[in-house]
Amino acid sequence: MEMIPVGLVGVTGYTGMELARILVTHPVLRLTRATSRAEAGKPLKAIYPFLQGFPAGDLSITAPDAADLAAACRLVFLAVPHGAAMDYAAELLAAGLSVVDLSADFRLTDAAVYAAWYGLPHRHPDLLPEAVYGLPELYAASIKQTKLTANPGCYPTSVILGLTPALSAGLIATDGIVADSKSGSSGAGRKANTPMLFCEVHDSFRAYSLGKHRHTPEIEQELSKVAGSDITVSFNPHLLPIDRGILSTIYTRLLRPMPVEEVHALYDEFYADKPWVRVLPLGKLPETRHVRGTMFCDIGLVVDPRTERLIVVSAIDNLCRGASGQAVACANLMCGLPVDAGLHFAPMMP
């Protein structure tokens, strides 16, 4: 099959690193440009020794340049911080490229909400209607048609996939939902800062940004669409001393008593043709290692009759499913490939 050249703007972070990992074994998408102002001129393997021996390891890092990217690539992944991504996207779209933006810049449909949570005005609100939220289980058809995919956040991926069947079926109350999420440290990025040093994270656990994390409006936007009414969620992240993985424990109230078997059947049916979402057998609960390095989202279901709660536990790999793998799935769809091309990863165990 003819290879499709793709570019990667922002190769030095963990999502860039993970895109590189995935693309080196992708059967069709070929990494043709990898950009970083700081590292321009070096071969990719100089900053990523783990790529020595792969052809992409010899790729020379370039400074980002829209014209060059447009000439060399058909699709570009943006793995740069929010705020920076929107301008790249505008420029690359104008040059005719397809864009998968891994930042938050095009996830929120309302520019005012973006401005409120991210603390800066959106400079390209005109592009927002064109952006498709890149969750393949919900929006595959639209992703195939778009030139601009807003790749979902890692936490939102876990919470939205966890709640969608229950909310769309009207099983649970739309108020009072609590998502207690725990993420591996790669979610914090690769910038040098003391609080993310090994000795500050290892053998410890902490909560952060309770009720204030920027993924909150994204979760609420998508769940509101699913439920058909405005939903406010208490979203609360924590930092795990692991590399990869998000596990969200989501507390909901059943609108009427219901045996867990019934909930399970409903989830099973909802995701029957979505092989990446694995609804676990009753009695089993997800573990982040079971999805490590993969596109899986494992879901465990518990009904607690004492408190009339449905507790949904969902686990993903924040870097693969929650970022770069999902971006490749979207790129696959945008390029007319099977959604899972190059994404047949088995979990790394142990």
State residue 68 phi and psi, 5-degree precision.
Answer: -65, -45
154 is catalytic: yes
Question: Distances from the Cα of 228 to the Cαs of 7, 114, 168, 173, 265, in angstroms?
Answer: 37, 21, 8, 12, 22
Q: Is residue 300 a contact point for its own copies (CB under 8 A)?
A: yes
Stretch that binds its own copies, among 15-23, 73-81, 104-112, 330-338 (CB under 8 A): 15-23
Q: What is the smallest separation between the CB atom of 244 and its own copies, expressed in angstroms? A: 7
Contacts 24+ apart (CB under 8 A), 118-124: 118/82, 118/83, 118/214, 120/83, 122/86, 123/86, 123/87, 123/90, 124/86, 124/87, 124/89, 124/90
Q: How is residue 262 written in tokens?
A: 């019934």
Annotated catalytic residue within 73, 154, 297, 330? 154
Residue span 211-230 as binding mask against its own copies, x where in contact by CB under 8 A, dash where not: xx------------------
Distance CA 92, CA 65 (A): 9
Contact 15/102 with Cβ under 8 angstroms? yes
Of 2, 198, 256, 336, the one binding its own copies (CB under 8 A) is: 198
Residues 124-143, interacting with its own copies (CB under 8 A): none
Q: How is residue 261 written in tokens?
A: 């078997």
Of 127, 291, 337, 341, the one binding its own copies (CB under 8 A) is: 291
Residue whose CB is less far from its own copies, 176 or 338:
176
Q: Is residue 22 a contact point for its own copies (CB under 8 A)?
A: yes
Question: Distances from the Cα of 30 to the Cαs of 8, 18, 20, 90, in angstroms?
Answer: 11, 14, 10, 23
Q: Is residue 18 a contact point for its own copies (CB under 8 A)?
A: yes
Q: Is residue 238 a contact point for its own copies (CB under 8 A)?
A: yes
Distance CA 33, CA 310 (A): 46
Q: Is residue 236 a contact point for its own copies (CB under 8 A)?
A: yes
Burial class (CB in 10 A: 0-12, 13-18, 19+), 328: buried
Of 71, 116, 265, 348, the one binding its own copies (CB under 8 A) is: 348
Q: What is the smallest separation between the CB atom of 213 and its own copies, expressed in angstroms? A: 11
Contacts of 194 (CB under 8 A, 6+ apart): 200
Residue span 37-76 as binding mask against its own copies, x where in contact by CB under 8 A, dash where not: -----------xxxxxxx----------------------
Residue whose CB is less far from its own copies, 70 or 188:
188
Q: Is residue 340 a contact point for its own copies (CB under 8 A)?
A: no
Residue whose CB is less far from its own copies, 17 or 69:
17
Distance CA 135, CA 156 (A): 10
Binding footprint of its own copies, residue count (CB under 8 A): 87
Q: Is residue 10 a contact point for its own copies (CB under 8 A)?
A: no
Stretch that binds its own copies, among 62-70, 110-118, 134-142, 287-295 (CB under 8 A): 287-295
Stretch that binds its own copies, among 66-74, 87-95, 103-111, 305-313 (CB under 8 A): 305-313
**Residue of 68, 2, 50 lying closest to 29 (CA atoms):** 2
Q: Is residue 192 a contact point for its own copies (CB under 8 A)?
A: yes
Q: What is the smallest separation between the CB atom of 317 and its own copies, expressed in angstroms? A: 10
Q: Is residue 123 a contact point for its own copies (CB under 8 A)?
A: no
Starting at the edge strand found earlier in the chain, the sheet holding 75-78 runs 29-35, 4-9, 75-78, 98-101, 148-150, 132-133
Q: What is the smallest separation between the CB atom of 173 and its own copies, expressed in angstroms? A: 11
Distance CA 180, CA 207 (A): 10
Q: Is residue 249 a contact point for its own copies (CB under 8 A)?
A: yes
Q: Give the active site residues.
A: 154
